[in-house]
Structure formats: structure tokens, C-alpha cells
């Protein structure tokens, strides 16, 4: 159910947010003799101020309201959760590991009950102990209408979650969350969910002491359970200052480090200005990173000629796919041969070039991203090569009764973010023309585009689409787009093909029962390959993220969970 908001999807498409985390023991952390896991060179040391230069403000700094995918990961500086991502580079960073909990949770035989035990010695910024009741309350307040905006999973997964309205309206809490003692918390789910450990990384699982809850103003000074605390939050997240939480202990947190003394987040800046400041590296900018600004083709070309700058670019991959979506209810896309013909005719080279070139986009033939954690299984059911196979496409069109070619309409956004841009639509138009397919472009303003393509009633027959995962697994990728029970008639629908295949639905249920995440990944990959035979989508490309960081930033780690540098490991000179 990776139902990303418009903002979250744009962040994922153009600049997946940098992971920002830090940590501090009671007297500050010891200097590490650590190594740079993914570049950045030099021995990390404690002290200094890390500056974050952003274009988007860190709004709604409340764990109940944050949608982790679009929250910039700055929240993990302040909010710890039952589980978290493994803070290592590359493939290893896509694993889920314990955070506040001692393990990934103990599931019942059918994965409908999950039990967690908290670690010893967990404290808030004021020195009081973190309890299981605080985690339960933090989750319950995320159901309040006043604090909407977070991920929808808990409402869908917890018994009674679909009707619960939060602690401000209901005196009684959720019976499906039990806290038999201060260190134990038990969750009762409506159906088997083997990926619950992934869900427990969401900020809704951060503890909130009920006595300190101030409702909608809690975001101004949330009580920290992580290595840093909020000391300033102005302009609704435009300027956020974090300092060490003296009661955080590295003994309870194997994943984070707190090398900088202070984290200074400044937002509302132009993207070009951000990259220029990082490039120049004057003053405080020498120890700066960005959590939401990618390098563009022109900037990469300029950097490529500067060895020093090129050495300060982090490259990463996030679970995201850009694709063509078919609505089989609309002619001529009800004919599989037409969909196959378009699949064969696609010129992925020109599409990749329109998306910024091979440095920023990699051609895709599978719906699942090309990462092991998703269960990626290589396949290319309609091999188009690098530049398309127009002759094979013409052959299929003739079989479908379109000997004289075909005219279709492609809907896209007029917004120039690189996933649905006019440039990509034009590249597709040019490629299909060689196969005798005339493409008329229908450009819509972003809001109108978003409403239209997610409306079961008004969805167009062919449009540019995109999907990003809330955690690195096939579950939040496959189910929302291909599970027939998730078709929404009155609301935001993401099953654009209106696929309601009993065998597919059953396999999704069977995979969800698995608590062996590696075994589940293998099954997701096999299911992706099987669904791909129906030509319900044309995978186009997976984005690549290029981020510049300051010359005094050390210990760079880029994981496959976020695709960008993880500042839980970062130190500054």
C-alpha cells in the first residue's frame, strides 16, 4: 500500500530524501576509528555543525503525520522506532534491523500476531524511561483526524483500525495493541502480514509520552527518543535546529552515530543555489549536504571535468519504477496484442536520455526495481532492444487488425519533474511513430493529471506512471498496483489495469504469510514475472540519484533502502 502523496512521489522521483541521523552518549560520543563504508574517506570524528540545505521545508514534524517516504528522513534524527533500516551501504542497507526492540518481532504461526520486547535503558531527552505504553499511544494518536498525513497501513492492518478515531475522540484505546508490561507490546492484525518488521520502521511507531502530547502543536517540540532533540523549529520546518540528546545512549542504538554536535536544516532554497553552494563549499557550506536536491545533467557534465567535485558525489538507487500504464477498459488497449506492440516499439534509449541520461536513469524491463531485496527476477517478455523493435510491433498490430497503423493518446503531466514530463512523453511519441503508431499528447496540469489517472471513472487509456516503495520489498510494490481487492471505485485508485485475478490475489496472500523475508522476496519476483506476461505496463526506467556533498563531510554511506547518503554515519571536519 505504497500510496505516496503527490509531494512524496515527487521527492521519490526527483530527489529521494537523504537519511539524516545522529547520536550522542551522555557525554558525547567517542571518536570512532571507523572506516568509510562507501567512500568519503578519512576517519570520522566528533564535533562541529552539519548543515542541511533543502528546497522543501521539513513540515509536520510530528511522528503521527510524517509519511516516511516523503519525510526526508530527518525525523530519524529525533524519532526511534521498533525497527529501522540497516545503516550500511548498498545491498546490506536494504535489510530491516531492530531499533527500540530487541529483535524483529516474534510472529504467531500465521503472522497475525506480532510481539516485541523493548531494550533496556531506553530514555527520552528528559531522562524518563521509554515504555511500551508510549509506543501504543504514539500509534493511537496517528489515527486522529487532526494528525492525518502518515502512512495508511496501520488503519488497514490492525484489528479495529478501520473504525478507530484516535485518543482525542475515544477514551478507550485500540484493543488490538496490548502492553502487558512496560517492555512488551503485542499487535493483533486482521490478516497475515509477514512484512510487519518493515512497517515497524515507520515513524508512527515512535514513542510519545501521553503527558507531553500537545496535539497539533506537538511538532514544535516533539519529545526525542533519538540521538538529537529539537531546539528550534521556525517557519513550519523552514529552519530546524537539532542538538544532542544527552540521554540517548549508543549502547542501545547499534545503527546510529552522533558525530556532529548540531544539525542545522535550512529550507526554501532554489535547487540551483543549493548545488552551487555545495560545490563552492564556503564557510559552513563546506560541512553541508542536501536531503532533497538532485544533480541535473548539465551539473553532472560540469562536475565530470572536476576531479575534486566528482569525488564528492554520492550515487544511489531507490526502489522506484517509471512506466507506461494501460487501462484495458479503454479501446484499443483492451487488446493484448496492441499492448504488446507498444511494448516492442518503445525506444528506451531515447526515454532514458529524456530522463537526464544514463547517469540519472537506467532502462527497465521489469516492474520490480533491479534490487535483490525486492526479489528482482530478470525478464523481458517483449524485447525491444535499446531502440525498439518497430517491425515486431507492426506485425502484432496487423494481427490486431490495424494494418494501416494506429492512433492513440498519451496522457502526461506538464510539470517538468522527470517522471511524467513532456520530454519523456515526446520521446515515447517519437519512438512509437516508427512502428506506425501515431501518439497524440495530452498534457495536464499536475493536480488535474494526478486526479485523472487515479480515478476509476476517468482514468485514460494510456499514461505515464510511477511507483515507489515505502520499504525495500515486493509487497508494497506489487499489491497496490495488481491486487484486485485494492481497486478503489470512489477515491484514489492505483490498480490502473483493474486487474482482479484470483490466482494473483491468492499468491499475494500466500506471500504475506511468510516471515522469511528472503523467501518472500523470491516469490514476489516470480509473481512480477508472471504478471508481466499480460503487458499491463511498459517498464521504462529506474531513476539513479546523484547528490553532491560538502568537502568537509566524511564517512559517506549510501544504501539501497533510501538511495542517498545516510547522515547517521556522517561526520564533519
Q: What is the tens place of the pLDDT at every residue in 276-330? A: 999 999 999 999 998 888 898 989 998 988 999 999 999 999 999 999 999 999 9
Residue 12's H or E segment, with its range, is: helix 6-14
Residue 62: pLDDT band (50, 70, 90) is very high
In percent, the amount of the chain with pLDDT more than 70 equals 91
Per-residue pLDDT at 522: 97
Could you tell me the pLDDT band of residue 490, with boundaries at 50, 70 and 90?
confident
Q: Which residues pair with 106 in a beta bridge?
A: 115
Radius of gyration in angstroms for the set of CA atoms belonging to the chain, rounded to a whole number = 24
Q: What is the pLDDT of residue 150?
A: 87
Taking only the tens place, the pLDDT of each residue in 2-29 is 434 333 344 344 333 322 222 222 233 3
Query: What pLDDT is recorded for position 151?
Result: 85
Sequence-ordered list of residues with C-beta below 8 angstroms from that of 189, at least 6 positions apart, any chain = 111, 112, 113, 114, 157, 158, 159, 176, 196
Q: What average pLDDT score do residues 458-485 get?
A: 95
pLDDT at residue 21 in the model: 25
Contact 572, 257 (CB under 8 A): no
> Where residue 224 falls among pLDDT bands split at 50, 70, 90?
very high
Confidence of residue 566 (pLDDT cuts 50, 70, 90): confident
Q: Residue 393: what pLDDT?
A: 98
pLDDT of res. 34: 35
Average pLDDT, the chain: 90
As to burial, measured by CB atoms within 10 angstroms (0-12 exposed, 13-18 middle, 19+ buried), residue 125 is buried
Residues in a beta bridge with 52? 265, 289
- pLDDT grade for 68, boundaries at 50, 70 and 90: low
What's the rounded Cα separation, in Å, for the pair 226 and 253? Answer: 9
Grid cell of 553 as nine digits: 563531510
pLDDT at 419: 61
Q: If you count them, how many residues does the chain have?
A: 573
pLDDT at residue 486 tops 90: yes
Q: How many CB atoms lie within 10 A of CB 519?
A: 12
User: Tens digits of per-residue pLDDT, 497-527?
Assistant: 999 999 999 999 999 999 999 999 999 999 9
Half-sphere exposure of 551 toward its Cβ, with a 13 Å CA cutoff?
A: 13
Q: Which residues pair with 107 in a beta bridge?
A: 114
How far is Cα of residue 512 from the mean position of the Cα atoms in its chain? 20
User: E strands of 218-319, at which residues?
Assistant: 228-234, 239-244, 262-266, 288-289, 313-317
Compute the distance between CA of residue 157 and CA of residue 476 in angstroms, rounded to an integer: 13
Query: What CATH number does domain 320-545 carry, 3.20.20.450, 3.10.105.10, 1.20.1440.230, 3.40.50.1970?
Result: 3.10.105.10
Q: Give the CA count within 13 Å in the CB-facing half-sphere of 425.
A: 24
For the chain, give the longest Cα–Cα distance. 77
Question: Which three-class secondary structure state does DSSP give residue 184?
Answer: strand
Domain boundaries, the chain: 6-272+549-572, 320-545
Q: How many angstroms separate the CA atoms of 344 and 390, rounded?
A: 7
Judging by beta carbons within 10 Å of its beta carbon (0-12, 13-18, 19+), is residue 130 exposed, middle or buried?
buried
Per-residue pLDDT, 287 = 97
* Residue 161, pLDDT score: 96
- CB under 8 Å to 322, separation ≥6 — which residues? 13, 355, 361, 364, 419, 424, 464, 465, 466, 539, 540, 541, 542, 543
pLDDT in tens, 159-184: 999 999 999 999 899 999 999 999 99
Q: Which CATH architecture has domain 6-272+549-572?
A: 3-Layer(aba) Sandwich (3.40)
| pLDDT of 240 | 94
Please report the DSSP string for 262-278 in residue order. EEEEE-S--HHHHHHHH
Average pLDDT over residues 445-473: 94
- pLDDT tens digits, 402-447: 999 999 999 999 987 656 579 999 999 999 999 999 999 999 998 9
Confidence of residue 221 (pLDDT cuts 50, 70, 90): very high
The pLDDT value given to residue 72: 53
pLDDT over 80 (residue 132): yes
Give me the torsion for CA of 120, 124, 127, 132, rounded to 10°: -50
Amino acid at each position: 500500500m505504497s500510496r505516496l502523496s503527490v509531494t512524496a512521489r515527487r521527492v521519490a522521483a526527483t530527489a529521494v530524501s537523504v537519511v539524516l541521523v545522529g547520536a550522542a552518549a551522555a557525554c558525547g560520543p567517542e571518536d570512532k576509528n571507523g572506516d568509510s563504508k562507501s567512500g568519503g574517506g578519512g576517519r570520522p570524528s566528533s564535533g562541529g555543525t552539519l548543515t542541511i540545505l533543502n528546497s522543501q521545508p521539513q513540515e509536520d514534524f510530528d511522528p503521527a503525520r510524517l509519511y516516511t517516504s516523503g519525510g526526508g528522513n530527518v525525523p530519524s534524527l529525533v524519532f526511534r522506532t521498533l525497527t529501522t533500516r540497516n545503516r550500511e551501504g548498498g545491498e546490506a542497507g536494504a535489510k530491516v534491523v531492530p531499533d527500540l526492540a530487541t529483535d524483529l518481532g516474534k510472529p504467531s504461526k500465521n503472522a497475525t500476531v506480532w510481539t516485541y520486547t523493548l531494550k533496556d535503558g531506553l530514555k527520552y531527552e528528559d531522562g524518563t524511561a521509554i515504555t511500551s505504553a508510549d509506543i501504543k499511544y504514539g500509534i493511537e494518536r496517528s489515527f486522529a483526524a487532526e494528525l492525518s498525513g502518515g502512512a495508511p497501513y496501520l488503519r488497514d492492518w490492525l484489528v479495529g483500525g478501520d473504525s478507530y478515531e484516535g485518543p482525542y475522540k475515544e477514551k478507550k484505546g485500540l484493543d488490538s495493541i496490548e502492553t502487558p508490561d512496560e517492555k512488551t507490546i503485542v499487535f493483533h492484525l486482521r490478516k497475515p502480514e509477514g512484512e510487519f518488521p518493515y512497517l515497524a520502521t515507520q515513524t508512527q511507531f515512535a514513542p510519545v509520552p501521553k503527558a507531553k502530547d500537545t496535539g497539533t502543536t506537538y511538532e514544535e517540540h516533539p519529545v526525542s527518543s533519538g540521538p538529537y532533540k529539537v531546539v528550534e523549529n521556525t517557519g513550519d520546518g523552514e529552519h530546524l535546529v537539532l542538538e544532542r540528546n544527552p540521554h540517548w545512549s549508543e549502547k542501545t542504538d547499534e545503527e546510529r552515530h552522533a558525530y556532529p554536535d548540531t544539525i542545522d536544516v535550512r529550507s526554501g532554497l532554489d535547487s540551483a543555489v543549493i548545488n552551487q553552494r555545495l560545490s563552492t563549499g564556503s564557510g559552513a557550506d563546506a560541512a553541508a549536504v542536501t536531503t532533497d536536491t538532485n544533480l541535473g545533467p548539465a551539473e553532472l557534465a560540469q562536475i565530470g571535468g572536476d576531479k575534486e567535485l566528482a569525488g564528492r558525489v554520492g550515487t544511489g538507487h531507490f526502489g522506484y519504477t517509471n512506466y507506461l500504464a494501460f487501462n484495458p477498459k479503454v479501446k484499443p488497449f483492451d487488446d493484448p496484442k496492441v499492448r504488446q506492440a507498444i511494448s516492442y516499439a518503445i525506444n528506451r534509449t531515447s526515454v532514458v536520455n529524456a530522463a537526464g541520461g544514463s547517469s540519472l536513469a537506467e532502462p527497465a524491463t521489469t516492474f520490480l526495481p533491479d534490487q535483490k531485496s525486492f526479489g528482482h527476477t530478470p525478464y523481458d517478455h517483449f524485447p525491444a532492444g535499446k531502440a525498439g523493435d518497430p517491425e515486431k510491433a507492426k506485425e502484432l498490430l496487423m494481427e490486431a487488425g490495424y494494418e494501416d497503423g494506429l492512433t492513440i493518446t498519451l496522457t502526461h503531466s506538464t510539470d517538468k519533474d522527470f517522471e511524467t514530463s513532456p520530454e519523456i512523453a515526446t520521446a515515447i511519441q517519437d519512438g512509437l511513430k516508427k512502428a506506425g503508431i501515431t501518439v497524440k499528447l495530452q498534457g495536464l496540469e499536475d493536480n488535474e493529471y494526478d486526479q485523472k489517472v487515479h480515478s476509476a471513472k476517468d482514468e485514460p487509456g494510456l499514461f505515464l506512471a510511477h511507483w515507489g516503495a515505502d520499504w525495500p520489498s515486493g509487497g508494497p510494490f506489487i499489491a497496490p498496483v495488481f491486487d484486485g481487492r485494492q481497486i478503489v471505485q470512489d477515491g484514489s485508485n492505483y490498480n490502473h489495469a483493474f486487474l482482479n485475478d484470483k490466482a494473483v490475489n491468492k499468491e499475494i496472500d500466500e506471500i504475506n504469510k511468510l516471515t522469511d523475508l528472503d523467501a518472500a522476496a523470491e516469490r514476489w519476483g516470480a509473481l512480477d514475472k508472471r504478471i508481466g506476461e499480460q503487458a499491463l505496463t511498459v517498464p521504462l526506467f529506474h531513476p539513479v540519484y546523484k547528490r553532491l556533498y560538502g568537502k568537509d563531510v566524511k564517512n559517506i554511506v549510501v544504501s539501497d533502502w533510501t538511495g542517498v547518503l545516510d547522515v547517521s554515519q556522517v561526520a564533519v571536519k
